[in-house]
Structure 1
């Protein structure tokens, strides 16, 4: 199967999940307003075929549901994502197999790595058309401006590709870029990101940093670039592991960088260290406008693209947004890896409503006093992306962490705020989070919502209310006899009575 944007659009259309819009639309505010309403309603992906000011169509909301994210990964059910996480976990911390079956499983993973190795394309589709010099005008691209307070139009789903000038190792990230002029944009990245590190190294050697922006790739490549799992593998290899086969790469037309050969478009440019322009304000994932910040200026000199390319975009904001759906899928992939890092964790969940990373709910198989606090502290240090998680709620393994009613019950019935809430002050913080008193520095809260055992408490804990298991099974069997067949059992909150749903 060809893993490019066109193939995924075809899959969505075949499954009735792509709406083509032929009416003329404005990329300034109008496209985002339409897409946001469809996102809120769990609606289809959109392909705007008549965009004012540009000859190129715009695709948006492709990953607007968890179901479509799974399709992008070649899967049908979210549960399949955990199997992928187990595979990555084996690569993260390989252990000598103790059984023949374990040796076979590890051998399959190694074979998958071999298959995932990228290949090189000498005549890449992304270079069918080359635009350079005075003909290059970024304002001809259908860049969107999502919110009225945004300073300018932006690129959001571009793969930003740079290379370490010392080691030659590339970095692929997904960063926001803001239009500055017909040939320039600023890039907004945190100082800890790979692109920023590469720029600092280039500055130390007095060199310009080469940078390529790959636009319109298959969503699984975007997922790979957005996966900050600490495995010593490249994003290209991740994309191959995600897709079950190596992706095609091609050397840029004017740069010593490689990009996906099946990209719809590729922008090629350089950053001169120290050359910056104000970037922002711009709507961000926190649900507010970010501030104005001097950011590196990219000077573009070349655009290559396929014949009749499609521009892929999205926008940030208060959930639900596409980035939140991607985070839900990544949550499933992280779970097996997190279990390897923190052995007592049974499951964990990052609610979309908490911006997919600000609050974490983890369940543990509690065996000793103080274990919930230990699990929370271990969680914060397990993977880099959890550094900015403000709240960690720890519950017993019997609690369904994806059901907010159960979680709120656990907090309400098992927490003494004096004993079970602990605060870590003055820790590294997300600079986009305005809740902290100091930008970039804030506190974290852990909540132990597990059943307490001595010496955590000096009195007996009450017995939980549960149904008689035989009666529960009887009611299940006779449900239709009661005349309740029109009310599926999965809509009845049986967890309130202490037994799991069938």
Structure 2
């Protein structure tokens, strides 16, 4: 069953995790300040019904908890996302089935792909109202400016849709856009992204690049577009696999592009190759203001939207933010893909506090000397986004990598910095990371926190402390007799560390 933004908002409301704000609020700084306080507290999504300067309501924090991200992906718990990851892993590197059971599983995945194909919508809700040419005015949108030194108002949760002028292959990405005038915006994308590649090809062919921006779609589609999985699937098909059914698409009014028919707004425009304007600075996920740089300028000549549309937005910054919550959930989808490509990896975790990609903790079943170092090097190369992971900590498979106490114990008790820490210099680096001496070029560190074996060490390793199994069972059985039944592990974790173990 297909779902749109307003249906997901209704679901969140029914689950008592939506608050409607009727008071007049300012999209300049005020909305972000209110939202950030709720994000810090793990609070509800917010629907602002009275936004200064706009007739349209605005929803934010919709994906502000891991729980709501799971609901968006149509599951209840993060662990269930690994089922989807297994499907994607099977599609990425299909292998001949060894038995009837594997053949049935592969057949089910192929059937899921068939169901995930996009369909056409002949009466698309996103085109109920149409504004063209002189009537195009982007100021009708309740665009926010999150931080006081931001260069202007922005779009953050928009799907940016472009097409390769040679192959006709579409790309769907999530990029930041800055308002420049009533009908222009700059788009900020990295040179390796699909939209940037399409612009280079259009320039070589002497053509304008058509660009459509879809605003207010089912959050599931946003996550599909933002997931850089190296699978030869279109983002629409990928979103269909997430959803369990195809995404209804419709053709733009003025462009040869297809867009989600259930979107709240569609912006249609073109880029003249080589035409740029200054973009930024803006607050980014690193917790700092980014730089100012020339970025491609989009000229918009058509806006279509639903009747009584809802504007969906978010903003970046030091975690916790919505992007960090999405990353925690997507971590579970990556896991089966990593296990298939690096078979020794048992589990991996990207802590939110480390910006959801700067530090990776992976566990392995160690089999030979140097195994941890090999696993770290393989991790850095398996997916494009892991290129920017600065630190990789490798632990044994019996360590719960989502428990910071166990990880810190492993580092402290199993690591000799002179032997177990290795650094790779001058590697490709995140341009938003100011820690490096050269922007775009920096180092990576691997930490081997596994139990050492010969010849990694010449002495025997101590036997780890373990409680007596029979006594553990006895205490479990008699716990209520002690009068301690109301004290749970979750409560202990919260008191000691201020958060729960995911």
Q: TM-score, normalised by structure 2?
A: 0.97
Q: Distance in 2 between matches of 1:303 and 1:243?
A: 27
1:363 deviates by 0.3
CA-to-partner distance for each residue in 1:405-448, whole Å, 9 max, x for gaps?
11111111111001000000000000000000000000000000
Query: 1:398 maps to which residue?
Result: 398
Whether 1:232 and 2:228 are equivalent positions in the alignment is no
Q: Distance in 2 between matches of 1:2 and 1:461?
A: 56
Query: 1:450 maps to which residue?
Result: 450
Q: Distance in 2 between matches of 1:223 and 1:492?
A: 33
Whether 1:330 and 2:320 are equivalent positions in the alignment is no
The answer on whether the counterparts of 2:268 and 2:303 sit within 8 Å (CA) in structure 1 is: yes
Q: Distance in 2 between matches of 1:221 and 1:101?
A: 31
Q: Distance in 2 between matches of 1:491 and 1:321?
A: 24
Structure 1 vs Structure 2 CA RMSD? 1.0
**Change in CA separation of 1:466 and 1:491 when aligned onto 2, cut-off 3 Å:** farther
Query: 1:101 maps to which residue?
Result: 101
Alignment of 1:133-152 (within 5 A): 133-152=133-152
Alignment of 1:62-73 (within 5 A): 62-73=62-73
Q: Distance in 2 between matches of 1:172 and 1:75?
A: 24
1:54 deviates by 0.5
Query: 2:268 maps to which residue?
Result: 268
1:489 deviates by 4.7
1:2 deviates by 3.6
Query: 2:389 maps to which residue?
Result: 389
Query: 1:296 maps to which residue?
Result: 296
Query: 1:79 maps to which residue?
Result: 79
The answer on whether the counterparts of 2:162 and 2:257 sit within 8 Å (CA) in structure 1 is: yes
Q: Where do 5+ consecutive residues of structure 1 fail to align? A: 494-500
Q: TM-score, normalised by structure 1?
A: 0.97
Q: Distance in 2 between matches of 1:243 and 1:113?
A: 11
The answer on whether the counterparts of 2:2 and 2:247 sit within 8 Å (CA) in structure 1 is: no
Q: Distance in 1 between matches of 2:155 and 2:311?
A: 10
Q: Helix, strand or coil for the counterpart of 2:388? A: coil
Q: Distance in 2 between matches of 1:490 and 1:147?
A: 35
Query: 1:114 maps to which residue?
Result: 114
CA-to-partner distance for each residue in 1:314-346, whole Å, 9 max, x for gaps?
000000000000001110000000001111000
Query: 2:496 maps to which residue?
Result: none
CA-to-partner distance for each residue in 1:162-189, whole Å, 9 max, x for gaps?
0000000000000000000001000000
Q: Distance in 2 between matches of 1:294 and 1:126?
A: 31
Q: Distance in 2 between matches of 1:85 and 1:215?
A: 27
Whether 1:482 and 2:477 are equivalent positions in the alignment is no
Whether 1:206 and 2:213 are equivalent positions in the alignment is no
Query: 1:23 maps to which residue?
Result: 23
Q: Distance in 2 between matches of 1:345 and 1:144?
A: 42
1:490 deviates by 5.0
Q: Distance in 1 between matches of 2:483 and 2:41?
A: 32
1:486 deviates by 1.4
Q: Distance in 2 between matches of 1:356 and 1:334?
A: 13
The answer on whether the counterparts of 2:82 and 2:333 sit within 8 Å (CA) in structure 1 is: yes
Q: Distance in 1 between matches of 2:82 and 2:452?
A: 30
Q: Helix, strand or coil for the counterpart of 2:240? A: helix
Aligned pair count? 494
Q: Distance in 2 between matches of 1:9 and 1:110?
A: 31
CA-to-partner distance for each residue in 1:286-326, whole Å, 9 max, x for gaps?
00000100000000000000000000000000000000000
1:492 deviates by 5.5
